Amino acid sequence: MSTADIGLPVEVPSTALFTDQYELTMLQAALKAGTAERRSVFEVFTRRLPEGRRYGVVAGTGRVLDAVENFRFDAGVLGFLRERGIVGEETLDWLANYRFSGDIWGYPEGEVYFPGSPVMRVEGSFAECVLLETVILSVLNHDSAIAAAASRMASAAGERPLIEMGARRTHELAAVAAARAAYVGGFASTSDLAAGFRYGIPTVGTSAHAFTLLHDRERDAFQAQVNTMGRGTTLLVDTYDVAEAVRTAVEIAGPELGAVRIDSGDLLLVAHRVRQQLDELGATNTKIIVTSDLDEYAIASLAAAPVDAYGVGTRLVTGSGHPTCSMVYKLVARTESADPKAPLVPVAKKATGGKTSIGGRKWAARRRDEQGVAEAEVVGTGPVPDGLVDRQLLVELVKAGKVVAREPLDAPRDRHIAALAALPLSATQLSQGEPVIPTEYVHEGSAG
């Protein structure tokens, strides 16, 4: 069974219109000018990290691969473009046969990145590459922002698991993508069933305040939940009086009660009181889960509290104050003709205001010190210095139009843990600071 079979709004038949109109008007002009088939190299990078962030997290790569495969101009899409007069018939004929046939390289999902890192490199004709700009940026900017927030929260939480609970705070499709990105960044589970169905992420959830309010007595609500879900369930104890609710919960479920959830109040103080009460009642193994508008700072402030897990919603799915990574998709090299043997020529925008870019097809490597700790992100053009050949970061994702790097979601999750462990310890500090390692540029012809 696919998601389409049950009508979940998490699949679309085509991603071709997840784009801006000027991608198509540029295509039409290039076709008429005879430059559309020039071999081109586009790169995705960010000029800076969000303020105060020490590193970025690559997320959404798997979704980009899906989007590229589904980038097709079917009859309905072509009809829309024709009706609106967005492009002419010759361009529509070209689009009808569109299939990306180029190559895509990129940082593997879960890897960290820094300013200037060529997070993704798209190579092919100008025509086929330029169309992918918006959808690639849409996915990477959103998912990487969520994963970076999740990573910071996971660092603050330490060994305590995190539950993603933000579906009701964002668009229904963004919620599914956010749950996926959060899992890559270190969250353990999600409350969103569509994310569990599509990506295999563990799902959790028991009851809300509405369930308690439905019943004449809190005791009746707890009894109904335990009767249905067993003694190992999680009971929400802050609808009325917390101490009374905890007492009632243990009376009904016994010391086998799985967990209690606290969703309001001074979480630090209430958690200590609830832990003491649970222990006094003999429920020493009953866990405490806290929710209520948490972010990485609130989680860090609860480090000394007797809390066993955190549920995070709004701040996670909005990137904890930074909902985008400001990644851009820039043409960095192209040929001067459509001849397959023509050499690539570096190109770059020259502008003031911090929007300059560096031309040339780039490689990237992470230099490490004698202890194996990262000390610099090295980005260059031309030959890779001998000492960095085995430290290169980009991997092949798509070859001649065929996806070659699909992997289960646990792979980028594990990769991120390893990448973060190889950074200096200050990477996980929540205090304001510059990127934890600098970006160094090596141009073709310069010393390695």
pLDDT digits (tens, 9 = 90+) for 104-149: 999 999 999 999 999 999 999 999 999 999 999 999 999 999 999 9
Q: What angle do CA 125, 129, 131 make, to 5 degrees?
A: 130
d(CA 306, CA 165): 21
The half-sphere exposure of 240 on its side-chain side, counting CA atoms within 13 A, is 16
d(CA 64, CA 169): 24
d(CA 67, CA 137): 11
* Exposure string over 175-209, b if 16+ CB within 10 A, otherwise e: bbbbbbbbbbbbbbbbbbebbbbbbebebbebbee
Q: What is the DSSP string of 208-225?
A: -HHHHHHSSSHHHHHHHH
> pLDDT below 70 — which residues of the chain?
1-13, 351-354, 445-448
Q: Cβ contacts of residue 208 below 8 Å, gap of 6+?
A: 236
d(CA 152, CA 147): 9
Beta bridge partners of 275: none
Q: How high is the pLDDT of residue 12?
A: 55
Q: How high is the pLDDT of residue 432?
A: 83
The number of beta carbons lying within 10 Å of the beta carbon of residue 255 is 13
Q: Identify how many contiguous H helices and E strands the chain contains and give both numbers.
A: 15, 18
Q: What is the DSSP string of 229-243?
A: H-TTSEEE--SS-HH
d(CA 268, CA 298): 10
443 token code pair: 């141009």
Per-residue pLDDT tens over the stretch 154-202: 999 999 999 999 999 999 999 999 999 999 999 999 999 999 999 999 9
The number of beta carbons lying within 10 Å of the beta carbon of residue 384 is 18
d(CA 367, CA 77): 46
Q: How high is the pLDDT of residue 446?
A: 47
CA torsion sign for 410, 416, 422, 424 is: negative
* Structural domains of the chain, ranges and CATH numbers in brackets: 36-67+104-146+322-442 (3.20.140.10), 206-300 (3.20.20.70)
Q: How high is the pLDDT of residue 9?
A: 43
The number of beta carbons lying within 10 Å of the beta carbon of residue 34 is 10
Of 92, 108, 15, 11, the closest CA to residue 57 belongs to 108
Q: How high is the pLDDT of residue 291?
A: 96
* φ, ψ at 6 (rounded to 5°): -105, 5
> Going along 237-361, which residue ranges are E strands?
259-262, 287-290, 309-312, 328-334, 345-346
Q: What is the DSSP string of 133-168?
A: HHHHHHHHHHHHHHHHHHHHHHHHHTTS-EEE--GG
397 token code pair: 């994702």
Q: What is the pTM of this model?
A: 0.94
The number of beta carbons lying within 10 Å of the beta carbon of residue 7 is 8
Region class of 400: left (phi > 0), else alpha (psi between -120 and 50), else beta: left
